[in-house]
Amino acid sequence: MRDNLAHKFSSEILVASQKIIPTIASVSFSVDKNIDNPSNANVIDCVLEYKEITAKKKKEEIPGTEMVEGINSRIINSKYRLENFIVGPSNQLVHAAAEAVVRKPGNAYNPLYIYGDVGLGKTHILQATGNAIKERYKDKKVIYTTADRFLSDYIESVKKRTVDRMKEKYQSIDVLIIDDVQFLAGKDATQTVLYNIFNTLYENNKQIILSGDRPPKELTALEPRLQSRFEWGITVDIGIPDFETRLAILQEKARAREFILPQEVAEFIAYNLGANVREIEGVLNQIIAEYELHNTPPTIDNVARRLNKLSITDSLIGNSTKKMAASIKTYEELLDAVAGHFGIEKRHILGDDRKKENMIPRQVAMYLLKNRMNYTYERIGNIFSGRNHSAVLYSCKKLETILKKDQNLFYEINILRDKLGI
Ligand code: ADP
Ligand code: MG
């Protein structure tokens, strides 16, 4: 629960808290070790406490969803579409596979297994595929569920002694989508049921689409026969989007909210937030809330402050108002930091072998000593096992040429500089 809150809702909770107490700068989540103690005053019964909300929720019908009786299906969210899934090098295979499945459900890739880290768009592509199939083939029964829900379906049917009915129902659908199958780990009985359902659907050319946080082979807590079936069709991974893709995703999300995000702000966010698209969206939500509540349009400065508050990134690139870290004073500190940053030993930085993994950090260290700490070439030469002035000069110039082409290294050095306050 804690991880879930921290990953999915931290920015929403922060915004909500700030509406009550504007000075709240950040939120963190921890587990109360005393949670089991019934006299613990912090423990509340949500069902009692939020009776009205729970009752209202139950009554609410969600439009546009066909429920198959007895199946604990999650609602397919119609906002997830293949058309608004931004395609880049990190996910184009996944997108192409999904489109192929939509063209020929059950016949193209069966099962389609998608894996990747959280927040990279697995649920989006799964639901978008479900939506597309439903639109194209009106009579096909499409079910999207999470492994969690599948599990609770099973547990419920065991209690009610209706496991056979549950199986029949699942076996009668045309497209079965199960998200986050890693959560079936260790649930042997549930895996057996899924195995049976899988076989029937597969034999009848019904489409199965799955997602997980790792490839089937690495789902070691799953029965081997299930693991191997997951590999029968196509397995594709969804990677971390590159800068252009992140930028396009951000712009698409802003467009969907009809919010105008200045190009430079969008670029700033896309540069500084990397691995998790959900996080990028969270920041956008906050920017929009800020605009709606206080009429403050986003600028690089106020967005940078926001990211700092969320401590999403240690250091921000391209922002002039960033706080400087306490600066380092000695070359020893610099060498330690560069070695630590590149994960090599200090003696390799100081050495003179020509391995690339040592040469680049060595050049970086010289370059920073010269350009940021104002050491002379001679002094740097003395530190680096008595190299002469021109050898150091050559190394510094060499790095400058590399930096013109290698943007990643350039940003990495900036991050390092920020950390060191130089
Ligand atoms: P996962 O299920 O892999 O944890 P989600 O599908 O929930 O990730 O994605 C998190 C958010 O990021 C969603 O709102 C989703 O719409 C968005 N997202 C991720 N990748 C893309 C993409 N390529 N194009 C558009 N939105 C994306
Ligand atoms: Mg998901």
pLDDT tens-digit series, residues 71-115: 555 567 888 999 999 999 999 999 999 999 999 999 989 999 999
- Does the structure show a pLDDT above 80 at 315? no
Of 341, 345, 343, 357, the C-alpha closest to 413 is 341
Report the pLDDT value the prediction gives residue 319, as an integer from 0 to 100: 52
Instruction: Give the H or E element holding residue 3.
Output: helix 2-4
Ligand 1 binding pocket mutation candidate from 236, 278, 285 (most atoms within 8 A of CB):
278
Given pLDDT bands bounded at 50, 70 and 90, which one contains residue 349? Answer: very high
Under 8 Å between Cβ of 157 and 163: yes
State in Å: Cα 266 to ligand 1 middle: 17
DSSP-derived 3-state class of residue 254: helix
Neighbours of 203 (CB within 10 A): 9
Question: What pLDDT is recorded for position 404?
Answer: 74
Percent of the chain at pLDDT > 90 equals 55
Tokens of residue 212, six digits: 């997980």
Give the 3-state DSSP-derived string for 178-213, with helices as H, strands as E and coil as C: EECHHHHCCCHHHHHHHHHHHHHHHHCCCEEEEEEC
pTM of the full structure: 0.64
Q: Provide the pLDDT for residue 62.
A: 40
| Rounded Cα–Cα distance for residues 279 and 227 (Å) | 31
Residue nearest to atom 21 of ligand 1 (CA): 121
Beta strand pairing status for 207-212 and 175-179? parallel
Output the average pLDDT for the chain.
85
Higher per-residue confidence, 259 vs 407: 259
**Residue 103: predicted pLDDT:** 96
- Whether residue 60 has pLDDT greater than 80: no
**pLDDT at residue 94, rounded to an integer:** 97
Any residues with CB less than 8 A from the CB of 286 and at least 6 apart, and which? 11, 14, 15, 306
pLDDT of residue 20: 80
Residue 309 pLDDT > 90, yes or no? no
Q: What is the per-residue pLDDT for 68?
A: 54
Angle among Cα 309, 314, 316 to the nearest 5 degrees reads 85
Alpha-carbon span 236 to 129, nearest angstrom: 15
**Other C-beta atoms lying within 10 Å of the C-beta of residue 161:** 8
Q: How far is the CA of 8 from the centre of ligand 1 (A)?
A: 12
Q: CB of 273 closer than 6 A to ligand 1? A: no
The mean-pLDDT minimum among 48-57, 148-157, 331-340 falls in 48-57
Is residue 53 scored above 70 in pLDDT?
Answer: no
CB-CB contact of 296 with 302 (8 Å): yes
Q: Please work out whether the CB of residue 124 comes within 6 Å of at least one atom of ligand 1.
A: yes
Residue 224, pLDDT score: 95
pLDDT confidence band for 322 (50 / 70 / 90): very low
Check residue 236 and give its pLDDT.
97
